[in-house]
Chain A
Amino acid sequence: MRKIHGGTGAAERAGEKAPLLLRLAAGMALLGIAMLFAMILAFALPAFLQPGPGGAFGWFWRPYQGEFGILPMLAGSLLLSCSALLLAWPLALAVCCWTLSAAPGLLRTGTRAGIRFMTAIPTVVYGFAAVFLLTPLIRAGLGGAGRCWLAASLMLSLLVLPTMALILEAGLKPRLDRLCLGGQALGLSKLEILWFLVLPQSRKTMLAALLLGFGRAAGDTLLPLMLAGNAPQLPGALTESLRTLTAHMALVTANEVGGAAYNSLFTAGALLLIINAVVSLLARRLAGRPGNLPGEQM
């Protein structure tokens, strides 16, 4: 075929080379992930294959008595993530709905900028601020040590809030924009359009935000490490201490360099990896689909 455009030789050459480089880069990334999975699972396999007293799947972590159960930490991770989401998800949805529909101009711009800024705040800053500001309040108001499930949960919800709000906004805004002018011409307000038409259509976006928020909450190490108290136990109340899988791994790797305790960490790592991989895949699958599928019709 005759070329219509001239002078594109360099671009074309780059275009020919780019896929090879891209394939190589993608292959290396995939290989890295596969090796990571393979290594963690291979080390964790003995614990999965030989469950029993003293193994990883026990309810007690007493290294000096030969018990290396990580189930309290698994429960701690799940409890902390879920409780943080219980607060953060409705808040993220409310903030998103408000900025999209009802917020006056300057306040809307300010809130959006604030949410974006929050994503850039290092986790340690949240943790540090909470140690000095939040934990004394909890200690004074509710008793206990202050470093507890509640403190970690509150700060973790603040950490995952912007992630979820941004995912929600990215999913809801295009749908709202599409329906807005027509709806307003019929006398509906933006909030009514959002509430009655956009949200019922966006269940997958809302679920994706929830799952990605969960992944971020379950994967965070520093906040539970600094704020949750880290007692390897099942907490009976919000003011009690708990230990998450991530904090447990950080604590044990800081103190051990081998042995049964160290080996049980691979089980913890494998569990964390599996939980996060499943959640992430589910969320991306949901977020990647168009919202207006026939199944989402009302």
Chain B
Amino acid sequence: MTEGPEAPENIPEPEAVQLPGSVHLQDLSVNFGRHQALKNITAAFSPKGISVLVGRSGSGKTTLLRSINRLNEEFDACATSGQVYADFGQGLIPLYDNPDLFLPDLRLRAGMLFQNPNLFPVSVYRNLALPLQLAAGFPKAELPDRIRQALTSVGLWKELENRLDLPAERLSGGQQQRLCLARTLALEPRILLLDEPTASLDVHAAKEIEDLLLQLAGRYTVIMVSHSLAQAGRLGSRILVCEEGRLSATLDAGADFSEEMLARLL
């Protein structure tokens, strides 16, 4: 990123801001030491539907996703240049070099789901309650209602209603991933960043998650990394192809994106 904080009003309006969408990447490059993971990417992500990032391993898909919630910065020797703008309900704001943006707030509003369910080694209830209480600052009295709503939204409430004190690690893989999604949704994000969310699940559990994502796509800006071209075709309203740290192609839902066509692009 550019050196030193800069007042948001001094940041020049990027060309990409003119595009419709709620996440804009402006000339974004990310380096890890001497390795350049993303190279001058400019792109916009639509607020409706699911944008799917596809590409070979090491093409920069996950780095791109993590540049939106600034999770790359947690890794040593990460250097980012360019800018990311996101709309969390009050217009586009710059996410980098913005002294008004509190990093934990950004991560609440841009929720992330990982490839493997990364539950905390505590109970189901505490998995949901801890971030609600510590990161989002909701009062304790509100927690039971919010937890019920979150579990209901991912279809887990009936299964877990009477087992909230169960260690979360004892749930099945699909339940664990749905619980992770519930934990993210409970924090009321505007953007969902999904990093191969079905890669570690069996076919049935993956189908459940996919159905859920399609339901959520109307309410959130969903940006998803997928290693499966078939899944990208099923879920994506827009498919972006990553290649060696750049976006090499973008296909909209109107276009005919068959699996063969995607395979050719990759």
* Stretch of B21-29, B121-129, B197-205 that contacts chain A: B121-129
Given contacts A185-B114, A186-B184, contact A292 B121 (CB under 8 A): yes
The 19 sampled A-B contact pairs (Cβ below 8 Å) are: A179-B120, A181-B114, A182-B118, A182-B120, A185-B112, A185-B114, A186-B184, A187-B134, A187-B135, A187-B187, A188-B130, A188-B134, A188-B135, A189-B104, A196-B130, A297-B121, A297-B167, A298-B121, A298-B123
> CB distance A187 to B121 under 8 Å?
no
Evaluate contact between B126 and A298: CB separation under 8 angstroms: yes
B136 within 8 A of A: yes
Q: How many interface residues does B have (CB within 8 Å)? A: 26
Residues B114 and A297 in contact, CB atoms below 8 Å apart: no
B175: Cβ under 8 A from any A Cβ? no
Within 8 Å by CB of B167, from A187, A188, A294, lies A294
In contact, B74 and A180 (Cβ under 8 angstroms): yes
Contacts of A185 in B (CB 8 A): 69, 71, 107, 111-112, 114
CB distance from A246 to the nearest CB of B (A): 41
Chain A residue contacts of B130, Cβ below 8 A? 188, 196-197
What residues of chain B have their CB less than 8 Å away from a CB belonging to chain A? 69, 71, 74, 104-105, 107-108, 111-112, 114, 118, 120-123, 126, 130-131, 134-136, 167, 169, 183-184, 187
The distance in angstroms between the C-alpha atoms of A189 and B121, with both chains bound, is 17
By a CB distance below 8 angstroms, the chain A residues around B121 are 179, 197, 201, 292, 296-298
Q: Are A184 and B107 in contact (CB under 8 A)?
A: yes
A181 touches B131 (CB 8 A): no
Knowing A180-B74, A297-B167 touch, does A187 contact B104 (C-beta < 8 A)? Answer: yes
Q: Which residues of A contact B69 (CB under 8 A)?
A: 185
Contact: B167 with A182, CB < 8 Å?
Answer: no
Smallest CB-CB A-B distances: 5 pairs:
A187-B135, A182-B118, A187-B104, A186-B131, A185-B112
- Residues A122-179 near B (CB distance < 8 A): 179
What is the CA–CA distance of A102 and B107 in the complex, to the nearest angstrom?
19
Which of chain A's residues 259-294 have a Cβ closer than 8 Å to chain B?
292, 294
